[in-house]
Amino acid sequence: MLAVLSHVGIRNIGFDAFERNFAPGFDGLDTYIIPYGLTTLGGALRAAGHGVEYLDLRMVKGWEDVETRLRELKPKVLACGFQTPNREFAIRLCEIAQSMGITTIVGGPHVSCVPTDCLNIAAFDHIVVGEGDKILPELCDALEQGQKPQRLIHTEPLREIESIPLPYLSPLYEDVVRRKKCGFIVTSRGCPGRCKYCQPVQKTLYGNRIKFRSAQNILREVDYYREALGVGKFFIMDDMFTVNRSRVNEFTDLLAERDQRVEYDISARVDYFDQDMADRLAATGCNLISFGFESGSNHKLALMNKQTTREQNLAAGKIWKKTGKLVLANILAAIPGETEEDLAEDFSFVDELRPTMCYFNWMVPFPGSMYYEELLAADMLTTTDFNSFEMNVVHSMPLVKNVDYDMVRRWEQKFKEAFR
């Protein structure tokens, strides 16, 4: 059975984003990052004997192109996963597919956190809550055999991810990897953090346990990029790469034993990072660390339940900076209870650290997060229309009644002017 897997993440960037991305002066990560979860599902479907094609809305010019592509491919199934800001695109895509007699399957963060919302959307034939690696091939098997699976399916969290087939990139994404000269890898699922803007979404998706791929398993994927695609640089996309110290030690030891030069970037929490880890990473090709500092204000860090401090943030950033490698500082604004003084402390923190890059992000209280539930219960949301939720920004309309969005915009401009 042929299944089309679709990436619908175009809320901030629009259709045809890949072509804009490769134009001079335009290099936003959202426009070229490989949808890793989708390609992992592609690998699982291929291992089960099903055909897989990808339909990436960033690579088409509009809905007419989508219709043309589906008519050409004639799949039996179309599947997509999505976050709340991309809900409207998933609905429209599935409506088009349904009109052609294609069975639609949806999953991902929004679906898993608010399945009741999805039950009200007629364009969604099957709704998967949780991880799809096991259930999606089973669904395709059942449909191929003429069975009628139930509409709402709750999956059991996977116990391990070591045995999951490697992602299937297809010529479509292989071309992107070659052009960007960078591969994308996810090495774990889950998170020990309790940040209110993120949890318990991760637990809803992946269960309570953090699941890790082994160092050897990760290197299998590195070898694929090197040998099949000629790419020696990769981005490890999961936030928790440094959480398992023994695995980091084994990974860096294995890299050091190889007579091959690689370059890789990672993300890290500051409370799972120290000098020894920095030395190991720097010596084996780690070029950039994206730190989830989120704030330089201890008051604000406590508000968001980050469980870290300004002092820890500075210590971790300075340790990595001493290696001569690149530091990406992430700051999160538009937090309920945030004050002018908090944002001033964020600014002074970045000014003291002087990272290579600084991303100023806006907190959006996505459904399923502690923030969403708390704000909803307190009647502090201006809307519960999910199509009004943007991705990492709040530009079209205020979302939280006790957030001063004009103040946040002023500080965003100050950050842009000072930390270009």
pTM assigned to the model = 0.95
CA atoms within 13 A on the CB side of 206: 16
Closest among 238, 292, 281, 234 to 256, alpha carbons compared? 281
Domains delineated in the chain: 2-154 (3.40.50.280), 181-418 (3.20.20.70)
Rounded Cα distance between 334 and 210, Å, is 29
For the stretch 118-138, pLDDT in tens is 999 999 999 999 999 999 999
What is the model's pLDDT at position 220? 96
pLDDT score recorded for residue 397: 80
Q: Are the C-beta atoms of 235 and 184 separated by less than 8 Å? A: yes
Residues 6+ apart with CB under 8 A from 239: 191, 267, 268, 269, 292
Q: Indicate the pLDDT class of residue 28, thresholds 50, 70 and 90.
A: low
- DSSP labels for 285-331? TEEEEEEEEE-S-HHHHHHTT----HHHHHHHHHHHHTTT-EEEEEE
Residue in this structure with the two tokens 């897989």, named with its chain if needed: 52
35-61: per-residue pLDDT in tens?
999 999 999 999 999 999 999 999 999
Question: Does residue 31 carry a pLDDT above 90?
Answer: no
How big is the CA angle at 63 (ends 168 and 3), to the nearest 5 degrees?
Answer: 30
Which amino acid, residue 131? E
* Cβ atoms of residues 278 and 287 within 8 Å: no
pLDDT at 25 over 50: no
Residues 139-148, mean pLDDT to the nearest whole number: 97
Beta-strand relationship, 263-268 and 211-212:
unpaired
Sorting pLDDT into bands at 50, 70 and 90, what band is 26? very low
What gap in Å lies between CA 402 and CA 343, rounded to an integer?
A: 15
- Provide the H-helix boundaries in 239-274: 245-257
> Distance between CA 410 and CA 419 in Å, rounded?
14
- Residue matched to tokens 């880890």: 277
